[in-house]
Structure 1
Amino acid sequence: MVQGIANWNTEETQEWLQQYVDDWVTFYRKNTDDGELASYIPELQKADPNALGIVIRGNNGMTLRSGDTGEQFTLQSISKAITFIVACMERGVSYMLNNVDVEPTGEAFNSIMHLEMKQVKKPLNPFNNAGAITVTSTLPGTTSDERLEPVFQLLENMFGHRLKLNHAVYESERKSSTRNRAIGYYLLEVGFLESDLDVTLETYFKQCSIDVTIDDLARIGQVLANDGMDPKNGEEIVPRQIARITKVLMLTCGMYNASGKFATYVGIPAKSGVSGGILAAVPPRVRDDTMPFIDGCGIGVYGPALGEEGNSVAGIRLLRHIATQWDLSIF
């Protein structure tokens, strides 16, 4: 069942689709041995490296859950997509795109080299650390808690409950933040930051330390897949233009310097984090054949064993298989 390409004869009942996903999670769990836990944030070393789980929330009302779906973990770099959305909503799209570009870097997410060597006039995209810190500096408020409030409010609008900050991870990030502080000082020197460096970094560390589950990630993905609207009631949660720009950035820049390979072999907008989470948005598709989740879906994946680019090894392989079997690619 695990091998093969697009399966045009897949049963579409929830029972059958659940069996497929359960089988695939079991198959790809062994791939966790090919990765390692993030080491530069000590608190993330406490995760179970063998964990793997997935949630798929369809616009048709169907939800599939398999594997380690109850694990809580922190957003880490997935928060960059959320804060970019919030900043665009608070400051305007044109304003934000004047402060941060939309181009892939081809470098590691925490690179400083490309900033100096390319002499850029603004960070190349909001999903590497330099761009994300710049975006965080534009959030309104004088304290980190004030700046994070619209982030929490947006997430609460999606979930119906308020998320919490993981203080242990926040302290671990704050104490081991040498590289991000170096990036911050460079951004300050060249005039990219709009506000106090210490408050900006405190906000950035906190946004990365918000606890979520893969159910939460799937819900975010579902809203983005639906161009910012809640598929249950048609309410606009994120303006359509902002949702679409965010999906473009997720596709071109969301998987660090493996974004090109992910777009080629999986073909859906996604954003990863070094805690092992992956947020994916599958827009509605036009196909001659009926396929699972053809009306679109959001996907949340958790697998904390990472590859060298900082993405979940088993999570990417699981997503690639599902995208191939069910023809989820946007292309």
Structure 2
Amino acid sequence: MKGLIPDYLTDILDEVRDVTDGEVPDYIPALAEADPAWLGVVIHTTTGNTYAAGDDLAEFTIQSVSKPFTYALAMQELGIDAVREVVGMEPSGEAFNEMSLEKEAKRPFNPMINAGAIAVNQLINGTDSDVDDRVEVIRQFFSKLAGRELEIDASAVDGEMEGADRNLSIAHMLRSYDIIVDEAHDAVISYTRQCSLRVTLHDLAVMAATLANGGIQPVTGERLLSEAVCRQTMAVMASCGMYDAAGRWMARVGIPAKSGVSGAVIGMLPGQLGIAALSPRLDGAGNSVRGVKIFENMSTDMGLHLMSTENIAGAHAVRSINRVGEDTIVTIQGMVNFIGAEAILGVLNQHNFRDGRIVLDVSRMVESNTMGRRMLKEGLRRLREEGHEIGVIDPDGGLKQRLMDDGSQIPLVNENEG
């Protein structure tokens, strides 16, 4: 059963694989060289499990996906209120690289557009820090988030600086209003180096999961951010992370997210998981065309939408595993969506089943969604392929149908018999 969730992710990629809308950006040399066929997705749960499909090991520059993490670092260093004085929290209603500030406060609208991101970058390590020290603090922090040492792509920095007129203009504007104190060139090269860190989808998924986990890196267990900083970061991502498409995103997908012009999209479900997807072709708003579709499909299938009325499944979806005669009875409880089913499959994978029938008792299952039921059925089917006899106790019809993907039915077991 170890390949069950990656198989689902592969199915999700196959659903969007033939979509060829959008263009690979050509104004940054490093991005223009990207393979437009790249397509991958990684899920990292807050319990430390990773599931991947497609081009999950491809390396690319992080670009604007870096913005929420630098914003979080600035708040961790200086405090939330101090950062709020420099950058706002409202959608700008304009393109990400517009030269615009709030009319009254004369500060960038939010940290997810370039003006706000450059201003936030200049807060790291103190406003009197030099470029090298500031960038090294950011690099080290991002490396801790990813759980490995990340490196800056120097050629990407050089190529991007050749066409940095827009960002230089933004930096001059920020300096003219005393929002930053560095020379415009220093501010832009510092920000460009931040955006040129090389990452994989695995890096981004665990970085997103760290925010979802309240600041604790799920693999290393190290606390990197406070819960308050993570909440603030995710809240701003929810309203501003997808540029001009942020409203549509929240309606269709419903999770905090951030995109980048490299074609990456990250998102997280607080307390549960982080997701990262990659596909280089972008739409008019600067978001990955296929990346957005991947998230839309996953949100629908897995019940990820924050506004969903579904209960959140916990890590204790398996109530008990008992041996009754020749049967092993696995009793599950509560809400079974993706997270609940993932927890159940994890327990089943680790259990050393003896001979006899494996019976899944779903009589204590409060509710389930399509993805949760699909995963349970497929888990039982794979146990059968491994040579086990299977069955289910389902007096209330919680599984809806007992039909598995191969067309066979899970045998129904009488509750008294179990």
Could you say which TM-score interval applies, normalised by the shorter chain?
0.7 to 0.9
Shift of 1:200: 1.2
- Residue 233 of structure 2 corresponds to residue 257 of structure 1: no
Query: Once structures 1 and 2 are overlaid, which stretch shifts more, 118-127 or 252-261?
Result: 118-127
**TM-score (structure 1 length as normaliser):** 0.88
Does 2:315 align with 1:327? no
Q: Give the 3 Å change call, closer, same or farther, for CA 231–162 of structure 1 in structure 2.
A: closer
Stretch deviating more after TM superposition (53-62 or 128-137): 53-62
CA contact (8 A) 2:44 2:275 kept: yes
- Partners of 2:262 and 2:239 in 1: how far apart? 21
Q: Which amino acid aligns with 1:329?
A: H
Question: In structure 1, what is the Cα distance between the partners aligned to 2:229 and 2:49?
Answer: 26
Structure 1 Cα separation of the partners of residues 18 and 225 of structure 2: 37
Correspondent of 1:317 among 293, 303, 315? 293
Alignment partner, residue 128 of structure 1? 113
Residue equivalent to 2:284: 308
Alpha-carbon offset, residue 78 of structure 1: 1.0
Contact 2:147/2:220 (CA < 8 Å) preserved in 1? no
Q: Which residue of 1 aligns with 2:8?
A: 20
Aligned residue in 2 for 1:225: 212
Please give the TM-score of this superposition, normalised by the length of structure 2: 0.70
Conserved 8 A contact 2:266-2:276:
yes
Question: Which residue does 2:273 correspond to in 1?
Answer: 297
Worse overlay, 95-104 or 131-140: 131-140
**Counterparts in 2 of 1:95-244, with a 5 A limit?**
95-112=82-99, 114-115=100-101, 118=103, 120-140=105-125, 142-232=129-219, 234-244=221-231
Is 1:89 matched up with 2:76? yes
Q: What are structure 2's unaligned runs of at least 5 residues?
A: 308-418
Q: Is the 8 A contact 1:100 1:125 kept in 2?
A: yes
Correspondence 1:50 to 2:37: yes
SS at match of 1:271: strand
Q: Do the aligned residues in 2 keep the contact of 1:226 with 1:283 (CA within 8 Å)?
A: yes
Q: 2:262 aligns with which of 245, 251, 275?
A: 275
**The structure with more radius of gyration:** 2
Are the equivalent residues in 2 in contact too, given 1:110–1:129 (CA < 8 A)?
yes
Q: What letter is aligned with 1:27?
A: E
Residues 14 and 62 of structure 1 are in contact (CA less than 8 Å); yes or no, is this contact kept in structure 2?
A: no
Amino acid at match of 2:36: P
Shift of 1:22: 0.7
> How far apart in 1 are the matches of 2:297 and 2:16?
9
Distance 1:167 1:198 in 2: 16
Cα gap change, 1:91/1:60 in structure 2, threshold over 3 Å: closer, same or farther? closer
Higher relative contact order (CA 8 A, sep 6+): 1
Q: Paired residue for 1:5?
A: none
User: Structure 1: 5+ residue runs without aligned partners?
Assistant: 1-12, 285-295
Deviations 1:41-96 (A, max 9, x none): 12210001121100001124432111111110111111111211121122221111
Quick one: which amino acid aligns to residue 76 of structure 2? M
CA offsets per residue over residues 282-320 of structure 1, 9 Å max, x none?
Answer: 123xxxxxxxxxxx1111111111001001100110111
- Partner of 1:34: helix, strand, or coil? coil
Partner Cα separation in structure 1 for residue 252 and residue 179 of structure 2: 35
The answer to whether the 8 Å contact 2:242/2:249 transfers is yes
SS in 2 for 1:30: coil
On the 8 A contact 2:13/2:54 being kept in 1, the answer is yes
Shift of 1:157: 2.0
More helix by share: 1
Contact 1:281 1:298 in 2 (8 A): yes
Report if aligned partners of 1:82, 1:151 keep a CA contact under 8 Å in 2.
Answer: no
Give the aligned partner of residue 39 of structure 1. 26
How far is 1:138 from its partner?
1.7
Structure 2 Cα separation of the partners of residues 205 and 329 of structure 1: 33
Contact 1:266 1:329 in 2 (8 A): yes
Label 1:248 to 1:120 Cα distance change in 2 as closer, same or farther (>3 A). same
C-alpha distance in 2 between matches for 1:238 and 1:184: 28
Following TM superposition, by how much is the alpha carbon of 1:324 offset from its aligned partner in structure 2, in angstroms?
0.6
